[in-house]
Amino acid sequence: MNEKIHEYTEYCLNCPAKPCSQKGCPLNNDIPAFIKEVKEGNIKRAFEILSKTTVLGSICGRICPHMKQCEGNCVRGIKGEPVQIGKIEAYVFDEALKNKWYEDLEKTNELQGKRVAVVGSGPAGLTCSAFLARSGAEVTIYEKYSRVGGILRHGIPEFRLNEEILDKTIEMILSFGIKPIYNKELGVDFSLEDLEKEYDAVFLGFGANISSKMNIPGEDLQGVYGGNELLETKKHPSYKGKKVAVIGGGNVAMDCSRTIKRLGASEVYVIYRRAEKQMPAEAKEIEEAKREGVEFLFQNNIVKILGNNEGKVEKIECIKTELVKKEGETREVPVNIEGSNYEMDIDYVVMAIGSSPEKKLLKKLGLALNEWGYIKTDESGRTSRRKVFAGGDVAGNKSTIAWAARAGRDFAQLGTGLFCASHNNC
């Protein structure tokens, strides 16, 4: 066993209450149990325990926001450093992928004869497909690109998630008997009605990757980009020697700023209207960005984008903010400081303040939406159409890889629509 991994496992107290699992992990991985097996040298057994709840261990072990999830709830972290749960999980799954232990995982015939279409192959779609297939269902994934992976391939930079690890994870998942259909886009190449005629159930897990806008003056100028689209398409302008402002404080903002800096920008500024401690991005990602030369302007807000005579971005106008605790608010909110406006010379602006599903596609689907514009679902993931379910970002679930995976797994285990043909109450 890796000596460092053994050291990490020895540090675990194997708490009976399991706060890391029950409170911290969106997938409720049995963390003390799998770490105990690793500690005793039973790596394959540790993989089997993890496989009851996840198929993305090599990925989640690397890119989950651990300090906001499992490691942030570790008892060891109260007075010191938490157990390195992510690194142990990644190690176990890496060993499983290398040795193909997944070929020995138990399968059932519970859903034999059921046919399910999964649209999208990100964390929700992959996890959903894997658990359905391992329960005996015949699963077909519809992917709009030429390779499976969804946001894991088209949204996470290579420096955060090695492509070889992703490819091996997908190889494992597809080995469960899942059929992928490539270069087919919902609403363009096929419709929901087409899928409903052919399958017993349909799961929509294609995410929500349209960057939100601030609706400020100048947002339509040349040189203003959406962060999600830049990461997905990888169609960047030339940043060589340019100054770039990235607006936002989440992991998309960190991924964009680090990517742009690596592509040659002379200066990259992350502009965030709150304090550093309030940033939703993982602390380690913020520190990595700082080490790579990204500059942070905390408690600053952009209010206007200014262009030149050719309609291209030339400057931005910002304003400083102060944090104020307002009645009824659970945390301090940023308030603009009157008269603190200033301008900065900027060549490109990247909006990374959030994202939403593609409205044109949702309109085509004709599904009921919730008040925030996401697909409306019940507790089993069912939409307003009997055979159609949804989970992950497109349904407004919490936006992390693990939470999206949880939505996919929940449908695979709770999706009552699979049995509508034989139950009168469906």
- Tens of pLDDT, residues 277-326: 999 999 999 999 999 999 999 999 999 999 999 999 999 999 999 999 88
Average pLDDT of the segment spanning 237-262: 97
Average pLDDT of the segment spanning 379-408: 91
Helix (H) or strand (E) holding 390: strand 388-390
Q: What is the pLDDT of residue 138?
A: 97
- Tens of pLDDT, residues 350-378: 999 999 999 999 999 999 999 989 999 99
pLDDT at 1 over 90: no
Q: What are the tokens at 51?
A: 């496989």
Q: What percent of the chain has pLDDT over 90?
A: 90
Residue 425 pLDDT level (bands cut at 50, 70, 90): very low
Sequence-distant (≥ 6) Cβ neighbours of residue 403 within 8 angstroms: 26, 392, 397
From CA 424, how far away is CA 426, in angstroms rounded? 6
Q: What is the pLDDT of residue 421?
A: 46
Q: Is the dihedral of CA 94, 95, 97, 101 positive or negative?
A: negative
Q: What is the pLDDT of residue 274?
A: 97
pLDDT at 109 over 70: yes
- List, in sequence order, every residue forming a beta bridge with 355; answer none if it has no partner: 211
From CA 229, how far away is CA 355, in angstroms rounded? 10
- List, in sequence order, every residue forming a beta bridge with 140; answer none if it has no partner: 117, 179
84, 87, 93, 97: CA torsion to nearest 10: -170
pLDDT at 415 over 80: no
Average pLDDT of the segment spanning 199-211: 93
- List, in sequence order, every residue forming a beta bridge with 315; answer none if it has no partner: 306, 345
Residue 175 pLDDT level (bands cut at 50, 70, 90): very high
From 398, 380, 399, select the one nearest 390 (Cα to Cα): 380
Phi then psi for 182, rounded to 5 degrees? -95, 160
From CA 425, how far away is CA 94, in angstroms rounded? 44
Is 37 in contact with 112 (CB distance < 8 Å)? no
Mean pLDDT of the chain: 94
3-state secondary structure of 351: strand
115-208+357-419: CATH topology:
FAD/NAD(P)-binding domain (3.50.50)
Can you give the pTM of this predicted structure?
0.93
From CA 46, how far away is CA 239, in angstroms rounded? 45
Is 295 in contact with 268 (CB distance < 8 Å)? yes
Q: What is the pLDDT of residue 397?
A: 79
Distance between the two ends of the chain, CA-based, in angstroms?
A: 50
Average pLDDT of the segment spanning 154-169: 96
| Cβ neighbours of 332 (radius 10 Å) | 14
Average pLDDT of the segment spanning 115-120: 97
Say which CATH class 3-104 falls into: mainly alpha
Q: What is the pLDDT of residue 328?
A: 80
Residue 396 pLDDT level (bands cut at 50, 70, 90): confident
Question: Identical fold at 115-208+357-419 and 212-354?
Answer: yes
DSSP string, 155-203: TS-TTTS-HHHHHHHHHHHHTTTPEEE-S--BTTTB-HHHHHHH-SEEE
Say which CATH class 212-354 falls into: alpha beta
| Strand-by-strand arrangement of the 388-390 sheet | 179-181, 138-142, 115-119, 201-204, 388-390
Domain locations in the chain as residue ranges? 3-104, 115-208+357-419, 212-354
Helix (H) or strand (E) holding 142: strand 138-142
Q: What is the pLDDT of residue 422?
A: 45
